[in-house]
Structure 1
């Protein structure tokens, strides 16, 4: 079994889900007392969130690259950043180490292609929805059309993520707001919705809507398991 490298803490609420999902999948596949081999580094999200607001992405890249180096030195065979938004600096982080980085958008795009999805709605932070680093990767690499909510809806989702979900707050009114946004995207032609923030599955589960939801946390975690057990 290969050793999985997890770069987490963004937020720790979703990093916990990664750790649990990976170990549960390893147990289910191998049985007995088997668990995953994991090297983890968890950062202080408060510091990085301030840098986000100040648009200091080069400093964020430095912090995450240093953490990635620690993970590599701890014996990891490959690296996951347990977060969607920070993939804005994925290339910088990947170039700082010699182990491969498993990009969350690639894992998600592969799943969408396997399910023959042609057009998706993307939910996430303002950075993920509003900038091209995530959307364009799925469009260019997988040929899938990606649409996002309008600016007001993007602000609503962004605030729910940072002011509630990252703090462990699950609010039914916020869930309803998000479901209304999901419905709007569906009416605009989205066949499915990508939950492009690792905190969003804390609020939105498949039993809340008939519209297919793609949980990027679960997809990314399962990709890590498959790679760990491969070869």
Structure 2
């Protein structure tokens, strides 16, 4: 079995998810006492997170150092368990080693939506992910219609995400998301992208009839496909 590299630590609740997903998938496929071979590198997120406002230009360089540490473990493939940081990855991708394939969340989501014939999708994530366009642009280039919540709803999603990242959970989160999802389903959306690794802690198929597309699940599946091929 090949070694899967995971860059995590951008919140401890969400960093637990890829470890669980990778091992559950390997156990389901291989049975016995099999578990995934994982190099999980959990970073100290403060230096990067504190620059999201007016210091974005510094983030790609900070991320590069963390990626270099992960790649020093010599994984056979790797992923970043954070959607927003894919924008910083895109800015340095051409300068990174190509020894191991990287499974890009946005590209996997795009291909998944196109393959399933889903045409109109709701994008949820951090304010940066929802507002900057880096996530929506590749989807729109593939012919998808990407809906972004109204400002009030974006602020609500960000507020809940921030609390989830600290390990908080409240029953009001599910109620708020259920109402938001219902509005967009009524407007014609066929799927919702949980483009922040904390959101699947609340948003699942029980909240909506729309397809729930979790980038982290797609990344983990791609990694396991590669690792056991």
The within-5 A match list for 1:1-231 is 1-53=1-53, 55-94=54-93, 95-98=95-98, 99-140=100-141, 142-162=142-162, 164-230=163-229
4+ runs deviating over 6 angstroms:
none
Residue-pair matches, total = 227
Residues 10-61 of structure 1 deviation map (CA, whole Å, 9 limit, x = unaligned): 11211111011101111111121112122222111233221113x3223221
The Cα RMSD (Å) is: 1.5
TM-score by length of 1: 0.92
Shift of 1:220: 1.7
Q: Normalising by structure 2, report the TM-score.
A: 0.93
Does the CA contact (< 8 Å) of 1:22 and 1:221 recur in 2? yes
- Shift of the alpha carbon at 1:69? 1.1
Alpha-carbon distance between aligned partners in 1 of 2:215 and 2:72, rounded to the nearest angstrom: 27
- For 2:20 and 2:92, the matched residues in 1 are separated by 24
Structure 2, unmatched stretches of 5+, are none
Q: Is the 8 A contact 2:63 2:89 kept in 1?
A: no
Distance 2:175 2:224 in 1: 33
